[in-house]
Structure 1
Amino acid sequence: MRTTLTVTTAAALALPLTVGALPAGADEPPAPQAPAALDEDRASVSRAVADAVAEAERQAQARTFSAPSDAPAARGEVQDALDRALADTAAGVPVGVVGRVDAPGLHWSGADGTRRLDGRGPAHPQDRFRAASNTKMMVSTLVLQEVEQGTWTLDTPVVDVVPEAAAVVPDAYEDDVTLELLLTHRSGLPDHLTALAASRMADTEDYDEFFDVLGEEYTTADHLAAMDDQPWLFEPGTDASYSNAGYVLLGLALEHATGQSVERLLEKRVFAPAGMRHSAYPDDPGYRGPFLREAAYTGGLGAGWYPLDGFDPSLFGSAGAVTSTTADLQRFTEALVTGDLLAPETVTDVLTPRTVGSQTLPDYGLGVYRLPDPCEEGAWLYGHDGASFGTLSITLTSPDAERQVTVALTGRDLTTLESDLNTALVPALLATC
């Protein structure tokens, strides 16, 4: 039976594919417009993570037992709490969940639930998952490596590096849309992923068709055409709005400058030096190795569960195609903040936020954002989250990488904009205090 997606449920599901009403006097329907509900979903993930940090801070202030580094009994108590948190997460909608916490006196990893929607295969701590927008930290690292080598500067206009971008960037802004503005989501370039998927659909209200087109291949030309269909949001540098499109252009900039694919660049200049042995940048559907397979839950609004085994990562590209593990993500953030991938002064620049006080973004630097450290007043944790249609994840680190937290789940509940991640994330943050 065909299932449909109404305007109301589109916003709730972060799948805003319904074409707007036909303007008076228009002969043709407008191109599908996407950014509002995707921004709503982006803001929801950010709010949920911020809420987790605030709750961890409240619990840390009220806690009376010793820190894990001080007493074996306390360490065991914390590990038990972390195990229970994963079990509680998997007892809800999520299918599988993995977590990792590293802090002085505590090194814990765990898993609960199953790898597959059909219940086959228990989840394991080392399982891979789709890291989604955590990819942005890695692509930013590649961009900053090129800056260090003198290939370009952060002030270089993207049209100077990616000639195809001239068809996307308004003429008036060609000198203003710089690599830095793309890295920090302040260019005004709207997100394009919903329009990209909608361009393949005959009926943008059909759930089943939507999940079908997620399995199709999307070329660079497809991405650029979807970007060109979207109205520019604001004058460059005057506001902030999360844009996957900006990171697709940054990936093109890297390929033009180096003559190598983003996949190869990540393998040589990020994965290998950081010791990320179980990470990849796939461009085809399918899974490599033990994997938490993606699934989306739509409740009664769609056909219930949708397995996403056929999802094609070309839809995300350099904005979110990386697959990884909790251990590998922590190897990356440690290598980043401690200067193994970039010079110390560049790391400082990466971690310096440009969007303090934004209503839709956390304090966002160059592909990395910061959150208040719930354990130490005035201190910060740095990292990113990843939200694909079937997976949620987040990885955070202290500036010295002595305290790190990573949590990921598959079986994402799309019936609500709230995050299931916090059931596991709050205890994980608290465990580092």
Structure 2
Amino acid sequence: MMRSTKAVGGALVLVLAAGGGTASADTGHAGLRDALRRLTAEAGTPGALAVVRDRTGATEVRSGVGDLRRGTPVPPGSRFRIGSVTKTFTATVVLQLVGEGRVDLDAPIERYLPGLVRGNGNDGREITVRHLLGHRSGLPDNVEHMGIGEAVEHPLKHREPRELLGYSLAHPRLFKPGEGYKYSGANYVLAGLLIEKVTGRPYGEAVRRRLLRPLDLRGTSVPGDRAGIPAPHPRGYLRTTPGEQPRDYTRINPSVAWAAGEMISTAPDLNRFFAALVGGRLLRPAELRAMKQARPTGNPGGAEYGLGLMRVPLACGGEYWGHSGDILGFSTIAGATTGGRQATVMVNLAPGGTQAQKDGLRAAVTAALCGD
């Protein structure tokens, strides 16, 4: 793979030419460069990174700083926490087990985890595996009820999956399973426990064996209790109040998110993963169709949710399939079109980003996937 780096329009462009393809830092991806520049120059984001890939090769664009104390840029080839993009990996493993006849999508979770989901109207006998993967279980969001303050105050604390689930089950169910939509990390804590029950092994081992190794995703990991991020990586920052100086929360215990959001990856790895998933290389046709049966979520941007996979309309026409993710220090959006284009965008500030940051992330993904 050939690499060349050029500073263009306030953003640093790294051209990755693979398989005989090339990309021009001088004329290509102007919209993406501008979106990243605005993220770091106008939206208050310390640093941003994007990698867009098509059949001719890949281009990495970076802007801003990866370390506020040192004033150094976001490193090329950065690893970062991907937050809820983890859910797509978890859902893919569950759907592989469905394809193998080891899990029934429409069976109640009670069949696999008897007696675990009980309390305040929450009942595992009524919640199916499909409900969990599509956030249509009615389970309250454990993250919402734990509160960001708890995670910020105790960033290195180990948390058991059942402890995370407890934050959800302590509250009344939100609706009868299948009759509404509510994004809830508890659904994917249960999905991780389901994988462990069916395989008899840690869920992270299933992710590594079934997805990371076959796709050669060497920059991607399921860290468990490991607080650090393998180099190279930017620092991760957060704000708990508007106007506050960003605080460094690079080191956290990712068990706070577990199967719903603990993973670490790189932009090229995420692009490769979503290309393989959308391209039908990870799931059998029936399970991929089920995953892509996306339904409205009420999102004003028109995004719909399938089973661990979002369908997002593009302003230039068409759509992409992917996921977004937030965790202490980082916010990410990654996805792929069926036409063979993939993009991942990361910023190193979450929570506490401005609305301009949120809008800028979506604009960067749109610019990457729509092209110039």
TM-score using structure 2 length: 0.85
1:152 matched to 2:103? The reply is yes
Aligned partner of 1:297 among 225, 229, 239? 239
Secondary structure of the structure 2 residue equivalent to 1:114: strand
Which residue does 2:345 correspond to in 1?
407
Residues 239 and 353 in structure 2, CA contact (< 8 A), matched pair in contact too: yes
**8 A contact 1:295–1:307 mirrored in 2:** yes
Aligned residue for 2:95, secondary structure, equals: helix
Paired residues of 1:94 and 1:412 also in contact (CA < 8 A): no
What is residue 322 of structure 1 aligned with on the other side? 263
State the shift of 1:243 in Å: 0.6
Q: Distance in 2 between matches of 1:154 and 1:305?
A: 43
Measured in 2, the distance between the counterparts of 1:75 and 1:410 equals 24
Whether 1:287 aligns to 2:229 is yes
1:333 counterpart = 2:283 = no
Q: TM-score, normalised by structure 1?
A: 0.73
Q: When the two structures are aligned, how many residues end up with a matched partner?
A: 346
Which residue of 168, 182, 206 corresponds with 1:227? 168
Q: Does 1:397 align with 2:336?
A: yes
1:382·1:398 contact (CA, 8 Å) conserved in 2? yes
Deviation of 1:366 (Å): 0.9
Report the alpha carbon displacement of residue 368 of structure 1 after superposing the two structures with TM. Answer: 0.2
| Structure 1 Cα separation of the partners of residues 65 and 45 of structure 2 | 9
Amino-acid identity (%): 29
CA contact 1:374–1:429 (8 Å) conserved in 2: no
1:169-188 → structure 2 map (5 Å cutoff): 170=121, 173-188=123-138
Over 3 Å counting, the alpha-carbon distance change for 1:289 and 1:169 in structure 2 is farther
Aligned mates of 1:73, 1:290 — CA distance in 2:
24
Higher helix proportion: 1
Pairwise CA distance, 1:197? 4.8
Match of 1:140 among 73, 91, 95: 91
What's the CA shift for 1:426? 4.0
How far is 1:210 from its partner? Answer: 5.5
Residue 381 of structure 1: how far off its partner (Å): 1.1
Aligned-partner Cα distance in 2 for 1:73–1:343: 33
Q: Could you tell which deviates more after superposition, 391-400 or 358-367?
A: 358-367
Match for residue 80 of structure 2? 129
SS at match of 2:61: strand
Task: Say which of 254, 257, 262 aligns to 2:195.
Answer: 254
Q: Are 2:318 and 1:382 equivalent residues in the alignment?
A: no
- TM-superposed deviation, 1:298: 4.1
SS of equivalent to 2:333? strand
Report the AA paired with residue 230 of structure 2: R
- Give the structure with the higher percent strand: 2
**Unaligned ranges ≥5, structure 2:** 1-21
2:332 maps to amino acid: S
Residue equivalent to 1:115: 66
- Asked if the contact 1:89/1:423 (under 8 Å) is kept, the reply is no
Q: Distance in 1 between matches of 2:88 and 2:152?
A: 27
In the other structure, the counterpart of 2:157 is: 216
The AA in structure 2 aligned to 1:89 is L
**Which has the higher relative contact order, 1 or 2, with Cα contacts under 8 A spaced 6 or more apart?**
1
**Cross-structure match for 2:12:** none
Unmatched 5+ stretches in structure 1:
1-71, 199-206
Give the aligned partner of residue 425 of structure 1: 365
Q: Could you say which residue in structure 2 is the equivalent of 1:82?
A: 32
Deviations 1:386-407 (A, max 9, x none): 122321111121124x111211
Q: Select between 340-349 and 410-419 the one with higher mean Cα deviation.
A: 410-419
Other structure's SS at 1:333 match: helix
Letter in 1 for 2:133: L
Q: Is the 8 A contact 1:295 1:412 kept in 2?
A: yes
User: 1: CA distance between counterparts of 2:24 and 2:66?
Assistant: 31
CA contact (8 A) 2:314 2:370 kept: no
CA distance in 1, matches of 2:206, 2:110: 21
